[in-house]
Amino acid sequence: MQNVDAAGLGIGDSYSPRIMGVLNVSEESPYEPSVFDEPSGAAAYVDERLIDQGADIVDIGLESANKRFSVLSADEELKRLDTAIETIASVSGDAVFSIETRYHEVAAAALDAGFDMVNDICGFADPEMPRVCEEYDAPVVKMASPPDLERPGAVESPEEIYEALQMNGFTDKTIIDPAFGGWSAEKTLEDDRETFARLEEFRGLGRPLLVSINRKNFLRELAGRSTDDALPVSLAATSMAVERGAHVIRTHDVAETRDAAIIGREFSQYRPSETRLGIEELDDVSQGIERHFEQSDGSPDSSVIRTFELSGLSTVDQSCLSTLAAEHGATFIHGERGVLLGTTEALSALAENGETGAVSEKMDDDHASLEPVLEAIEERVNGGR
């Protein structure tokens, strides 16, 4: 999983979940407490209701993306940008400032004026957007959308969302957003629920993951709650989203969402631990097969395939382990949870001989060490589970 640096704020598996608070300078936006048309009131809201409550990022929207409203042009958004610029200049607190737009011209103007990152709700439908963000070395949230500047988020199934997120590629600092909510008439609540149930799959793109689920219909409908009463369901979903690997939570309810994210992170399988290596044997059949060989006076060492899932390995670790495994007749498959498989004989040889000269020749000692990995494999293979 690639981490992203946003003006000094780390985003990714190596960091705590980040909270993105929302400010709107668009009169059409439906959440009235966050809507302002003058900088002083907007700045006070950002300081008191967002940053002071725990927001790491402040996302400022120039127009409502609600499908009921006409889409503003780039020039119309630029006219509203002045209020956003004056607002961040008046804020006293410390946060990363994000501009929500679909146009590269607006993104460039905002970044020139002091914004730190971009939230592209049309997911690079403007093909110049990634170029601009790369030129400014700015992080960019890429929301799943069709290649159409007037149809943000109008993607239904998880498979289509996955494909849309890949459209026009990624920058080195791209954060992905699967686009929850009623962005199109075709998108159903069931579509959103399936996407949420399969949220972990989007980590396969190797980019930090942002979710915007605050008081969304697909959650409210399950509990039979109105928008005003939907905070508890949002918080439950927030904790689940972080546990499933989300890195940024976009919300209007900053303080409460922060607490829910902390709980989700504490019990997440993606939370870094002091013991960096995770190892788990995937197949419980092996022991049964071994017993069969023992009863028949055979040897399982050269016949039984053992399969281990390894987590917490750096890219360097994985490359070295792949080479060493091949040298000893085993196989290592790269991935966030890499898979090591081979016969007991091959894995035992890997564990016993891997710490010799072959390791030092194939690994930069300043960047990685496979010693704890090999020790864990030897213990599991030769000493049982």
**Residue 245 contacts residue 203 (beta carbons within 8 Å):** yes
Q: In which residue are the tokens 């016969």 written?
A: 343
How many Å apart are CA 260 and CA 147, to the nearest integer? 34
3-state secondary structure 183-233: CCCCCCHHHHHHHHHCHHHHHHHCCCEEECCCCCHHHHHHHCCCCCCCHHH
- pTM score: 0.73
Positions in the chain whose pLDDT score sits under 50: 274-275, 284-298, 300, 357-368, 384-385
How many Å apart are CA 39 and CA 91, to the nearest integer? 9
- What pLDDT digit, counting tens, does each position of 168-202 carry? 999 999 999 999 987 777 889 999 999 999 999 99
Q: Where along the chain do its domains lie?
A: 4-266, 278-383
What are the distances in angstroms from CA 33 to CA 37, 91, 259, 346? 12, 17, 21, 63
pLDDT, position 151: 86
**Nearest in space to 35 (alpha carbons), one of 66, 71, 73, 1:** 66
**Nearest in space to 10 (alpha carbons), one of 59, 58, 56:** 56
How many Å apart are CA 275 and CA 85, to the nearest integer? 45
Report strand pairing: 248-251 vs 18-24: parallel
Q: In which residue are the tokens 């949870």 written?
A: 337
Residues in the chain: 385
- What pLDDT digit, counting tens, does each position of 44-74 carry? 999 999 999 999 999 999 987 655 667 889 9
pLDDT, position 55: 98
The Cβ-side half-sphere exposure at 30, using a 13 Å CA radius, reads 9
**Nearest in space to 130 (alpha carbons), one of 175, 78, 73, 169:** 169
**Residue 46 contacts residue 25 (beta carbons within 8 Å):** no
Which residues are CB-contacts of 92 (< 8 A; sequence separation ≥ 6)? 43, 47
pLDDT, position 128: 97
Domain spanning 4-266 has what CATH number?
3.20.20.20
Q: What is the phi/psi pair of residue 300, to 5°?
A: -80, -15
